[in-house]
Copies of this chain bind each other. A is one copy, B any other.
Amino acid sequence: MAIQFELLQQEGAARRGRLTTPHAVVETPVFMPVGTQATVKSLTWPEVAGTGARLLLANTYHLYLRPGAETVAALGGLHRFSGWEGGFLTDSGGFQVFSLAGLRQIDDDGVRFQSHQDGSFHRFTPEVAVAVQEQLGADIMMCFDDVAGYDSPPTRFREAMLRSAAWAARCRAAQRTAQALFGIVQGGFDPALRRESAARTVELDLPGYALGGLSVGEPKEVFLETLTYAPALLPAERPRYLMGVGWPEDIVAGVAAGIDLFDCVLPTRLGRTTTAVTSTGRVNLRNARWAQADEPLDAACDCACCQHHSKAYLRHLANTSEILGIRLLTLHNVHFYQRLLQQIRAALEAGRFAAWAADFTSRGVRWAGPPEGAPAARGGPQTP
């Protein structure tokens, strides 16, 4: 098998593990920064590695369009092309394609869609999604799935679930490489559908499983309720991946529910919109209150941004739309997420994750919610 997963420790449902891929030894629970275009937006690889990140998500849909999977393959695959020496996971393109409302038609065979870039027509099937991901050559690839939004009619959730299970079987049959192929469990917000999806997907005996179809517009309580039963539907000995999540509090909830892998565009996207995720909550650097704030962004943080610059300088960079501001806030945010997961892993190792999580919650810091807290913004779409 192309990957190995070792469960090192458990506390309740929460798990401390180690995922070994061809390019990385990944301590779990882990947060994967998103590198849509084979770059974690605005950062160099040494900076990304310096935050502790070892596994990144890259987006198949975007790389398929530009520079093209053949080009990446001709240049030696994602690793050699980009220069990132750690692990890559590629999504299947499904989420992006299904987000192209009005530009796509789904049937049981696959999806026909128009590029958001140039309007050109393309067709993704499970077989195409696997072939493209094989050309990209990530450590881990994902099955092509059908995703239903929160406001879909009940029949649509069942349709997407059955189609995703059938497509997972086709993905597995189409696979020609030794890359790890993860299944994706759908089923929306109905425990019975989730159970059926898990049964159909797990019988394919894949090396890892994801919960898909979350962060699609559902209220926070519906998301949290799903976490009470869905992770346990996945085999304990395989890594469990919660796609597109999320805010720090969501990740803590996910770990408590038994999730091992997370990814989200939030740290990078917020960094590009002058917003920092700090130990005291969300900070918008455009705010005039920071104009003369001669203090670090986050006194609890040891990243280069917080060590070398004041909020006043960051506010100036935000206010003048300087690229350095984007860089510094992105670096801080990615570093913040990596440090959060390090703290979670340390608590698990010490057998005091429950106490750590209780303390984390009792501090009353919330990152999601107003002023940017529309439900859909929790996990955010998977395009950074």
Residue A177 at the B interface, CB < 8 A?
no
A324 near B71 (CB under 8 angstroms)?
A: no
Q: Which chain B residues lie closer than 8 Å to A37 at the CB level?
A: 316-317, 320, 322
Which of A105-113, A159-167, A212-220, A307-315 sits within the interface? A307-315
A75 near B38 (CB under 8 angstroms)?
A: no
Scan A10-40; emit 1 where CB is below 8 A from any B CB, else 0: 0000000000000000000000000001110
B323 near A292 (CB under 8 angstroms)?
A: no
B67 near A291 (CB under 8 angstroms)?
A: yes
Measured CB to CB, the closest approach of chain B to A169, in angstroms, equals 34
Measured CB to CB, the closest approach of chain B to A117, in angstroms, equals 9
CA distance A74 to B324 in the complex (A): 22
Residue of B nearest to A76 (CB): B294
B41 near A320 (CB under 8 angstroms)?
A: no
Residue A360 at the B interface, CB < 8 A?
no
A324 near B67 (CB under 8 angstroms)?
A: no
Scan A35-51; emit 1 where CB is below 8 A from any B CB, else 0: 00111011111000000
Q: Which chain B residues lie closer than 8 Å to A328 at the CB level?
A: 44
Q: Return 29 A-B CB contacts under 8 Å, by A number.
A: A37-B316, A37-B317, A37-B320, A37-B322, A38-B316, A39-B322, A41-B322, A41-B323, A42-B323, A42-B327, A44-B304, A44-B324, A44-B327, A45-B308, A66-B316, A66-B320, A67-B291, A67-B312, A67-B315, A71-B292, A75-B294, A75-B312, A75-B313, A81-B310, A81-B312, A81-B313, A82-B313, A83-B309, A323-B323
Measured CB to CB, the closest approach of chain B to A58, in angstroms, equals 12
Number of copies: 2
Scan A50-81; emit 1 where CB is below 8 A from any B CB, else 0: 00000000000010001100010011100001
Give the bracket for the number of chain A residues in contact with chain B: 35 or more
Q: Which chain B residues lie closer than 8 Å to A323 at the CB level?
A: 41-42, 323, 326-327
Q: Which chain B residues lie closer than 8 Å to A228 at the CB level?
A: none
Measured CB to CB, the closest approach of chain B to A88, in angstroms, equals 14
Measured CB to CB, the closest approach of chain B to A209, in angstroms, equals 31
Residue A284 at the B interface, CB < 8 A?
no
